Amino acid sequence: MRTLISTAFISLDGVVEGPGGEPGYRNSGWTFKGVEFLPEAFEIKGREQKEAAAILLGRTSYEAFSPVWPDMEDFADYKAMPKYVVSTTLTEDDLVSNWGETTILRSLDEVAALKETEGGPIIVHGSAALNRALSDAGLIDRYHLLVFPLLLGAGKRLFSATDKDAQKLKLVEHEAYANGLQKNVFDVVR
């Protein structure tokens, strides 16, 4: 079974919306406004590209990343990697042609079936709504969180507000950095 890893820039109060400057969100760009850049705090992002074998995205994140990431040197390792987009509305005509193989999945059952295939880890970037649905369905195996020392209040959250049984996590890697960022890697305990 393949490991499904959720990776996120997240505020201390759980917001993941608009970290890179996406329009339409009050606090857009919060990952670089007023937070000193320390390369060592972002080491995990490069490691993710080397360790992942596929990318899983929701429609909204695919539509945000696909026009930009294929030509960015920072994300070069993702270009050749298979991509999967969970969407009930996207069509093949909506997919970009310069980002490698992309498959549209129509349901969480198809994500569960993908996890049963051979291959390395599948990484989920962005995709707040998809992350919540994957978590509720018990499909996430690991979280890679870069926690920013900010309280953003309103905004899309990584974690579901669904009333459910507690889900135990095991901290397997952590570090705090001089700029206040914290790296927390959690395995989901089954």
Say what the pLDDT of residue 97 is. Answer: 93
Q: Record the tokens describing residue 177, joined without a space.
A: 């950095």
Asked if 61 contacts 75 with a C-beta cutoff of 8 angstroms, the reply is no
Asked if 79 contacts 71 with a C-beta cutoff of 8 angstroms, the reply is no
End-to-end Cα, the chain, rounded Å: 14
Distance, CA of 121 to CA of 114 (rounded, Å): 11
Q: Record the tokens describing residue 183, joined without a space.
A: 């790296």
Asked if 81 contacts 55 with a C-beta cutoff of 8 angstroms, the reply is yes
Query: Span 4-184: which CATH code?
Result: 3.40.430.10
Distance, C-alpha 170 to centroid of its chain:
19
Could you identify the residue written with the tokens 């209040």? 153
Say what the pLDDT of residue 52 is. Answer: 97
Using CB atoms within 10 A of its CB, is residue 149 exposed (0-12), middle (13-18) or buried (19+)? middle
Asked whether the whole model's pTM tops 0.85, one would answer: yes
* pLDDT-flagged residues of the chain (< 50): none
